[in-house]
């Protein structure tokens, strides 16, 4: 659904087909066949970047980068000045040249600095100098319509063509990995919730290692962004995001799978016994209807909270604890660029606070806290936990593994 909507919005997305898989004569059910995200004229259409493109206009594009989980093969990238980890997608880490690395790193640092400035929307020094705003608006709208759990922070792609090209500024997209959407979530408390902005994910999930980059939180509250988002939203609500159009798209896909779904259920009868197939479709439609109404009534309010946002994130680093995994004690280290109120606590995977390690003022500099793996009530069970460092303006997390 999301990929079809993206294409209908005029934004490239991976073209997909339903298929039934038979492996070595054994029926495996219904799968989705998707094309990979890659650079070419029919996918992400940016200039080819050769090893000898190391100066002038040819150095300025094309690049494809992403914000994603730090795992898998060929993961190469860098930490920006704002502690955002960007990964190379094209060229890949083994192909990208030193001059190209310097260029894209400096470009992203300059963009982040613009978003930290006192006037991020300044035409000559702010985000208009660096990004294609309409692409960011469309990316925001589609992620929020679907309430994508991973939005902005995981599988989040960007691309930039040469300065001389039409796509010479940074573009948001294409979309990728929309399985946890339309009311679905890993977290039980988030399932079927239709209210709230996914761009505010960090407010409700501060313990998560993967947070929404700060520049999104700044951008969506700029008046120009909100004005364009409202105009675009009004246009889309009359077309592909009208309730009739969205329901019709769902019904067409249901019809496509009408025979295959029976075979799939026979192969995988235990996949989900909470709801029947027809109930799932009805729940999805009801969820979409409520989500659209919520956005209708809240999109214009984004500009009203602009001044309440911290425009300049402070320099705070929460280092990985050591040892990790640990058995008896582990040391947690963090640094502050200036004095700040600090709340340092340990949380479970579901967000329950199990131990407050420190709460109060801390001076500028490096600090360490030793945790013995116990709560106020006693020892904890083996498993994965999160340590969260919250200051007056930022939230940082690290994963901790207790092994007994």
Which pLDDT score, from 0 to 100, does residue 286 have?
96
Which pLDDT score, from 0 to 100, does residue 395 have?
83
Closest residue by Cα to residue 34 from 46, 43, 25: 43
Are 348 and 212 within one domain? no
Which pLDDT score, from 0 to 100, does residue 273 have?
63
Task: Indicate left, alpha or beta for 74 from its phi (over 0: left) and psi (-120 to 50: alpha).
Answer: left
Which pLDDT score, from 0 to 100, does residue 242 have?
98
Are 222 and 327 within one domain? no
The answer to whether residue 69 sits within a structural domain is yes
Are 67 and 215 within one domain? yes
Q: Which of 193, 213, 236 is the last residue of a domain?
A: 236
- Residue 338: CB atoms within 10 A of its CB come to 12
CA torsion, ordered 98, 103, 109, 112, to nearest 10 deg: -140
CA distance 332 to 324: 10
Are 217 and 332 within one domain? no
Phi and psi at residue 198, to the nearest 5°: -65, -25
Are 229 and 337 within one domain? no
Start-to-end C-alpha separation, the chain: 45
Are 232 and 377 within one domain? no
Q: Provide the residue range defining the domain that includes 328.
A: 316-402
Helix ranges restricted to H, 299-403: none
Which pLDDT score, from 0 to 100, does residue 140 have?
99
Which pLDDT score, from 0 to 100, does residue 73 have?
58
pTM equals 0.77
The answer to whether residue 283 sits within a structural domain is no
Dihedral of alpha carbons 331, 201, 153, 107, sign: negative
Q: What is the mean pLDDT of each run of 10 residues along the chain (404 residues)?
A: 97 97 96 96 96 97 93 77 92 96 98 95 96 98 97 97 93 95 82 92 81 95 96 98 98 96 90 78 96 96 61 66 85 87 88 90 88 85 88 84 82
What's the structural domain count of the chain?
2
Which pLDDT score, from 0 to 100, does residue 310 have?
41
The answer to whether residue 275 sits within a structural domain is no
Q: Which of 216, 236, 256 is the last residue of a domain?
A: 236
The answer to whether residue 204 sits within a structural domain is yes
CA distance 379 to 385: 13
């Amino acid at each position: 659904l999301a990929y079809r909507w993206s294409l209908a919005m005029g934004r490239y997305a991976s073209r997909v087909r339903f298929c039934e898989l038979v492996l070595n004569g054994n029926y495996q059910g219904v799968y989705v066949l998707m094309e990979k995200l890659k650079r070419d004229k029919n996918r992400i259409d940016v200039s080819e970047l050769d090893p000898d493109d190391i100066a002038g206009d040819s150095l300025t594009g094309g690049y494809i980068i992403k914000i994603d989980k730090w795992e898998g093969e060929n993961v190469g990238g860098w930490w920006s000045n704002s502690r955002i980890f960007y990964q190379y997608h094209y060229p890949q880490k083994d192909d990208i040249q030193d001059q190209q690395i310097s260029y894209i790193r400096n470009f992203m640092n300059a963009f982040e600095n613009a978003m930290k400035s006192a006037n991020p929307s300044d035409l000559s020094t702010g985000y208009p100098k660096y990004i294609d705003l309409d692409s960011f608006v469309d990316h925001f709208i589609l992620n929020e319509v679907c309430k994508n759990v991973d939005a902005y922070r995981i599988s989040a792609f960007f691309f930039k063509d040469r300065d001389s090209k039409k796509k010479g500024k940074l573009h948001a997209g294409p979309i990728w990995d929309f399985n946890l959407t339309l009311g679905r979530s890993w977290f039980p408390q988030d399932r079927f919730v239709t209210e709230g902005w996914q761009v505010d994910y960090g407010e409700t999930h501060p313990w998560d290692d993967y947070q929404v980059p700060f520049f999104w939180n700044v951008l969506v509250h700029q008046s120009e962004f909100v004005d364009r988002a409202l105009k675009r939203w009004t246009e889309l609500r009359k077309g592909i995001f009208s309730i009739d159009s969205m329901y019709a798209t769902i019904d067409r896909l249901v019809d496509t799978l009408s025979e295959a779904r029976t075979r799939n259920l026979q192969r995988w009868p235990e996949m989900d016994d909470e709801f029947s197939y027809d109930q799932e479709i009805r729940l999805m439609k009801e969820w979409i209807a409520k989500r659209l109404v919520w956005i209708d009534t809240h999109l214009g309010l984004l500009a009203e909270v602009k001044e309440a946002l911290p425009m300049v994130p402070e320099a705070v680093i929460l280092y990985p604890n050591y040892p990790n995994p640990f058995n008896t004690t582990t040391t947690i280290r963090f640094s502050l660029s200036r004095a700040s109120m600090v709340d340092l606590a340990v949380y479970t995977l579901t967000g329950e606070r199990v131990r407050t390690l420190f709460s109060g003022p801390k001076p500028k500099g490096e600090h360490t806290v030793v945790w013995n793996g116990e709560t106020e009530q006693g020892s904890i069970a083996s498993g994965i936990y999160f340590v969260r460092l919250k200051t007056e303006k930022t939230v940082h997390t690290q994963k901790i593994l207790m092994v007994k």
